[in-house]
Amino acid sequence: MNDEVAVKGERVAKHMARAGLCSRRDAERWISDGRVEVDGKTINTPATIVDDPSRISVDGSKLGQKGETRLWRYHKPPGLVTSHKDDMGRSTVFEKMPEHLPRVISVGRLDLNTEGLLLLTNDGELARRLELPSTGWKRRYRVRIFGHVSDDRLASLAKGITVDGIHYEPIEAKLEKRTGSNAWLEMVLTEGKNREIRRVLEHLGLKVSRLIRMDYGPFKLGDLTRGAVKEVSRKMLVDQLGKNLDITDVDSKAAAKAKKTSRSGWAKAKPKKKSSSKLRDKSKARALADAKERAKAKSIVNNKEAGPKKGPDKGKGKGKGKNP
């Protein structure tokens, strides 16, 4: 019986993350701190398997059932820490969330002074998946720098670079515009390690004065104003994240659509089918036209075989009639 439950169940940390309570990493830490119980007994390992999340309690409260997965775009202003709690007492992004928003966690982080697009979700497991470089999603930034750099130096980042023993994967970088000693760059990453852009540019002798994330995969900052939060539509969520959503989390039509999406994430167009009634009507029309042509051709042949018709007699002595 225990083996059967183990096969059907999931790790406690995963249940907690999917309920939007915290990230899986935080869940493992809470378990180590003795804050989590299963069936009223404190557990000390995140590897504990549970088939029903209602058996889990955190800080004495039952774990709620997982709701519908949701995703929001948030324009993070500079000066906020991407954390639920800061030991230094600094303001956090989650303290600035609208009151109507449920408890959410971030997909990755943005540094204290970095601004721009930050994705938020109520599904910790989804957040963990979208952070992984294996998604292949590009993160695009605009960077204002102080200093001079050549196009060739920026192009060399496309081969990857190692700074202080840390290797960074290839980076797309190009100069947008220059004004005196300042310049704007566009940089595109696929992994986003801690302070990656700042460290790489400092290694090139450049100082970053402003850093804005514009895109995270298919999701864009757009015209979202600083501090604003906007939910991603359900349609776009399924179109772009169908393979990362729990199949029980979407309705049957959306799930079927997600399975048929192309690799780029957009649904494939279905070939149009002509109705059978229209095909029958066209077939009848062609048959009727053919029949008329055959009848016309037959009439011409018969007339030729019969020869010219003679006119009626007008009486003797009037002469012979003429051919028509």
Nearest Cα to Cα of residue 240 among 213, 267, 214: 267
Q: Cα 257–254–9 angle (5° rounding)?
A: 110
Query: 295 — alpha (psi -120 to 50), left (phi > 0) or beta?
Result: alpha
Give the residue numbers annotated as catalytic, written as ranges.
Answer: 111
Q: Are strands 115-121 and 207-216 parallel, antiparallel or unpaired?
A: parallel
Q: Is residue 132 helix, strand or coil? A: coil
User: Residue 185 pairs with which residues in a beta bridge?
Assistant: 143, 175
Residue 190 DSSP symbol? S
- How far apart (Å, rounded) are the C-alpha atoms in residues 154 and 161? 11
Is the CB of residue 193 less than 8 Å from the CB of residue 168? yes
- How far apart (Å, rounded) are the C-alpha atoms in residues 321 and 265? 87
Q: How many CB atoms lie within 10 A of CB 309?
A: 8
Taking the chain, what is the end-to-end CA distance rounded to the nearest angstrom?
Answer: 107
Computed from CA positions of residues 282, 287, 293, 295, in that sequence, does the dihedral angle turn out positive or negative? negative
Q: What is the DSSP string of 265-323?
A: SSBPPPPP---HHHHHHHHHHHHHHHHHHHHHHHHHHHHHHH-PPPPPP--TTS-PPPP
- How far apart (Å, rounded) are the C-alpha atoms in residues 101 and 294? 76
